[in-house]
Amino acid sequence: MKATVIESPIGPLLSCVDHRGRLLRLDLPKGRTVAELIRDAGSPDCDDGAGRHVARQIDQYFAGRLTAFDLEMQPEGTPFQMSVWSMLAHIPYGETWSYGELARRLHRAGAARAVGRANGANPIAIVIPCHRVIGSNGTLTGYGGGLATKRRLLELESARGENDPAAGQVA
């Protein structure tokens, strides 16, 4: 596993890719230093260039010039977690769904809490947009990167209109 530290407006992010360039993890800072991020990821080797594509897309996202990621990913989780993470990818940029709505779309209407736990275990933050899930009453609830980070990500996305011809394009 190779790691790349990506500087971002919310602090350093750590992307980890496998030998084939597939994104395995994108870790939020959660108040940690770069050294702590690397240690917590299992001390991966420093990047030899495999993570540049990830870093470029993350930079474009934070610059407001990318609304959909084009990255090969290989998250690890249970079949239920994988189904939740797959459904997260269907939440449109700039929109939010509640945990209950996400559970209903998975045909598991009574599983909002389980969906919340799976959402919280998402190993590829931002790219698999777990920040787009909110409480049923419209409030921001639990986010591994902290509610302030969740708010910033949602504000970034809401500032970009769908009618903007540059939305979704990578420079």
Question: With 80 as the cut, is the pLDDT of residue 163 above it?
Answer: no
pTM: 0.85
Q: 96 CB contacts (<8 Å, ≥6 apart)?
A: 132, 133, 134, 154
Mean pLDDT score of the chain:
85
Rank 22-31, 89-98, 140-149 by mean pLDDT and report only the highest.
89-98
Q: Provide the 3-class DSSP secondary structure of residue 23.
A: strand
**Mean pLDDT throughout 108-113?**
89
Question: Is 146 or 59 the better-scoring residue by pLDDT?
Answer: 59
Q: 31 CB contacts (<8 Å, ≥6 apart)?
A: 146
Catalytic site residues?
A: 130
Q: Answer whether 122's CB lies under 8 Å from 128's CB.
A: yes
pLDDT digits (tens, 9 = 90+) for 41-93: 665 665 556 678 899 999 999 999 999 999 999 999 999 999 999 999 999 99
Q: Answer whether 26's CB lies under 8 Å from 13's CB.
A: yes
- The residue count of the chain comes to 171
State residue 46's pLDDT score: 57
CA–CA gap between residue 46 and residue 126 (Å, rounded):
22
CA–CA gap between residue 39 and residue 28 (Å, rounded):
13
State residue 153's pLDDT score: 95
State residue 154's pLDDT score: 95
